[in-house]
Amino acid sequence: MIRLDKYLADSGFGTRNEVRSLVKSGSVFVNNETIKDFGMKIDPDKDEVIVKGKSVEYNQYEYYMLHKPAGIITASRDKNAKTVVDLIETRKRRDLFPIGRLDKDTEGLLIITNDGQLSHRLLSPNSHVQKTYVAFVSGGLPSDVEFHFKNGIDIGDERLTLPAGLREIESIDALVEEFGDRYIIEKCESLGDSQGNSIINNCRIYEVVLTEGRYHEIKRMFEALGGNVEYLKRYSMGPITLDSQLAPGEYRKLDKEEMKNLLTSK
Ligand code: URA
């Protein structure tokens, strides 16, 4: 059971104060009766709530995948800057947050939800959920760079990084083909390294698979080996893969299959 004002606020009808005024104005019906008591208890499975003639669908949880563009911060709310949650314009719930963090200049998959348990499970250090990234890296790297990723790298923390997968991708065309990402060429063409060289000509491309998430982890791993990450994009997190139909900045709800995989993954 849930209070009517919370039910309406959770369903996107405004703040608690706004929905209370809405109820007091007589625009809200519960089981065909006008209700003016905003504290009334509602059973979302049984009661029918109608606002201004339209039946309300209660969303206890919402789950979205966002193709995060560069330049947007991974936060729920910020006084001065647009956040990844602000990009979910059709959201109903006001309590959405991103699961995990991507740097401001990192692009790619972010899951946005209000399901705290799921977030905890995906981010818990013991879950070792796999995250797949592609990194464009300039500078000299040792020839046994894969060995270092596999065996752990000293990035200045107390412990070495956990074993990570590293695989070189031979060209940007191979990357587009493999990941189905038709947006990445244009993006990379627009980026130059610190010397102004196109990162496409000047970088090696790597797929990186992590099972932990430390601050700036991939950038620090390459830096520790003498490289510099010029561009970073995430393609998957656990069972969820970035939908290649989504342009940077676009989002969609997770579908039934994705939800099943997500909620049943360990
Ligand atoms: N590693 C980084 O360095 N940055 C990210 O955004 C994600 C992983």
- pLDDT tens per residue, range 47-66: 999 999 899 989 889 999 99
Render 69-107 in DSSP notation, one character per residue: PTT-BSSS--SSS-BTTTT-TT---S--EESS---TT-E
| Between 150 and 195, the higher pLDDT residue | 150
Query: Is any ligand 1 atom within 6 A of the Cβ of residue 74?
Result: no
Query: Is any ligand 1 atom within 6 A of the Cβ of residue 262?
Result: no
Q: Residue 79: its pLDDT value, please?
A: 94
Average pLDDT rounded to a whole number, residues 12-39: 93
- Catalytic sites, residue numbers: 103
Q: How confident is the model at residue 266 (pLDDT cuts 50, 70, 90)?
A: low
Q: Residue 195: its pLDDT value, please?
A: 76
Q: Residue 21: its pLDDT value, please?
A: 95
- Checking if the pLDDT of 220 tops 70, the result is yes
Question: How many Å lie between the centroid of ligand 1 and the Cα of residue 53?
Answer: 47
Bridge partner residues of 111 (DSSP) = 65
Here the tokens at position 260 are 């099943």
Q: Residue 57: its pLDDT value, please?
A: 86
Output the pTM of the full model: 0.90
Atom of ligand 1 nearest to the CA of 213: 8
The per-residue pLDDT for range 251-265, each reduced to its tens digit, is 999 999 999 999 887
The per-residue pLDDT for range 62-95, each reduced to its tens digit, is 999 999 999 999 999 999 999 999 999 999 898 9
Question: How many Å lie between the centroid of ligand 1 and the Cα of residue 224?
Answer: 14
Contacts 24+ apart (CB under 8 A), 48-52: 49/4, 49/7, 49/8, 51/8, 51/13, 51/22, 51/27, 52/27
* Mutational pocket test of ligand 1: of 106, 212, 230, the residue with most ligand atoms within 8 Å of the beta carbon: 106
The per-residue pLDDT for range 179-192, each reduced to its tens digit, is 999 999 988 888 88
Q: How confident is the model at residue 194 (pLDDT cuts 50, 70, 90)?
A: confident
* Mutational pocket test of ligand 1: of 136, 232, 237, the residue with most ligand atoms within 8 Å of the beta carbon: 232
Burial class (CB in 10 A: 0-12, 13-18, 19+), 31: exposed
